[in-house]
Structure 1
Amino acid sequence: MTRDINDIIRERRSVFPAQYIEKPIDKALIDQILENANWAPTHKKTEPWRFKIFREEAKDRLGEFLANTYLDITPDDKFSPFKYKKIVDKCKATDTIVAICMQRDPKERVPEWEEVSAVAMAVQNMWLTCEVNDVGCYWSSPALKDYLSDLLTLEEGERCLGFFYMGYYKKDEKGESKRGSILNKTEWVQF
């Protein structure tokens, strides 16, 4: 049965690594998720989205890098062994981690906020593709994202906006969500 786009949008949820099960996501599906991201709207066709994919040992190394960076930048009196372990465990529990990056248009033909918005729309396309394929996911933007250039070579003008975690999950563990009425957020302007 084909799902209606309205249902897909309303059923989309953040599903976290602690909820993921050990079932690999097929590379062809990951390619489809990324291809759908590539069709996001983009002003002046700058296509600012860039993705760095971490799987298997690479995602475990990413977790170790992020945890060790947390250790290095956190004062002793603020350090939490729980948080350190959580960073490592989150990466281990995830099938695929996508570093969401933005490549700023070198000519700066559009304001930076439009480039960030285009990347966010690409991520929404990823999220909806995951939803329709029963893959759990969520976008996290920890302060540690700002250190990704210490691990990877980023192009001039490229920066990381966060990490997109993906994994299959038990469907009965998907949370519910509520939204306030759109009527409280809408004004029909008439002159």
Structure 2
Amino acid sequence: MNNEYLNQVIRERRAIFPSQYNNKPVSKEFIKNLLENANWAPTHRLTEPWRFKVVRGGTKDRLGSFLSDTYTDITPDDKFSPFKVKKIKDKCDASDTIIAICMQRDAKERVPEWEEIAATAMAVQNMWLTCASNNVGCYWSSPVSIKYADQFFELEEGERCLGFLYIGNYDKEDELSSKRNPVEEKVKWFD
């Protein structure tokens, strides 16, 4: 394994937003590989809590309508924004694929729930790194409407939605920057 390449991918990984996507399709084979890499995330007691709902084609439009209608229904008039309704639909329209990120709670509750949420987040990180290493954009969004995902998807008993991973190709010519404070500010050594 090339450690320098791995370091580069980790450090250059960025949120690429749907508004940055172009219309070039993302292959189904790539999505399958993305999901396979997610499946290799660490998981305590092998509960493998991650569950994914892959949304493409016409279902993507229906999801956009569901999310914008849900926002409209649950938002008080004084906080409602027509701009937000449009933005919700635009995110769905601009994305090639949307993956609902779900977590299936272990029926025996052998591990704390936070560990299963963390394992699911690690699966998403595997997907994000896969996208980054292939110059495919992705963005994890957790809108309030995820609480209502069971009205769109058939969620199993104990399953809940943690957000949506929006995926699309983008033109890499734009330099994507980010900043992190030095790690030394976040670490205490005990020798």
Normalising by structure 1, we get a TM-score of 0.96
1:76 maps to what in 2?
Answer: 77
1:132 aligns with 2:133: yes
**8 A contact 1:13–1:174 mirrored in 2:** no
Question: Relative to structure 1, is the Cα distance of residues 85 and 116 closer, same or farther in structure 2, using a 3 angstrom cutoff?
Answer: same
Give the structure 1 partner of residue 121 of structure 2: 120
Structure 1 residue aligned with 2:103? 102
1:67-126 per-position Cα deviation (integer Å, ceiling 9, x unaligned): 001111112222111101110111000000000000000000000000000000000000
CA contact (8 A) 1:50 1:102 kept: yes
Distance in 2 (CA, whole Å) between partners of 1:171 and 1:97 is: 20
- Whole-Å Cα distance in 1 between the matches of residues 49 and 41 of structure 2? 10
Cα separation, 1, equivalents of 2:59 and 2:175: 27
Comparing 152-161 with 70-79, which one deviates more in the overlay? 70-79
The residue number in structure 2 matching 1:26 is 27
The letter for the 1-side match of 2:127 is M
Query: What percent of counterpart residues are identical?
Result: 63
2:190 paired residue number: 189
Secondary structure of the corresponding residue to residue 119 of structure 2: helix
**Alignment partner, residue 177 of structure 1:** 178
Report deviation, 1:47: 0.1
Shift of 1:132: 0.8
* Aligned counterpart, 1:35: 36
Say what the alpha-carbon RMSD is for the aligned residues.
1.4
- Cross-structure match for 2:48: 47
Instruction: Report the secondary structure of 2:78's partner residue.
Output: coil
SS of match in other structure, 2:77: coil
CA contact (8 A) 1:15 1:174 kept: no
What is the aligned partner in structure 2 of residue 11 from structure 1?
12
How many Å apart are 1:37 and its aligned residue? 0.1
How many residues are treated as equivalent by the alignment? 190
One-letter amino acid matched to 1:39: W
Q: TM-score, length-normalised on structure 2?
A: 0.96
Distance in 2 between residues matched to 1:20 and 1:57, nearest whole Å: 18
Amino acid at match of 2:140: W
1:161 aligns with 2:141: no
Whole-Å Cα distance in 1 between the matches of residues 68 and 175 of structure 2? 27
Identify unmatched segments of 5+ residues in structure 1. Answer: none
Measured in 2, the distance between the counterparts of 1:143 and 1:33 equals 26
Contact 1:23 1:168 in 2 (8 A): yes
- Partner of 1:173, secondary structure, is coil
C-alpha distance in 1, partners of 2:54/2:11? 27
Secondary structure of 1:25's match? coil
For structure 2, the 5+ residue unaligned runs are none
Quote the Cα distance in structure 2 between the aligned partners of 1:23 and 1:146: 31
* More moved, 74-83 vs 85-94: 74-83
Structure 1 segments of 4+ aligned residues over 3 angstroms from their partners: none
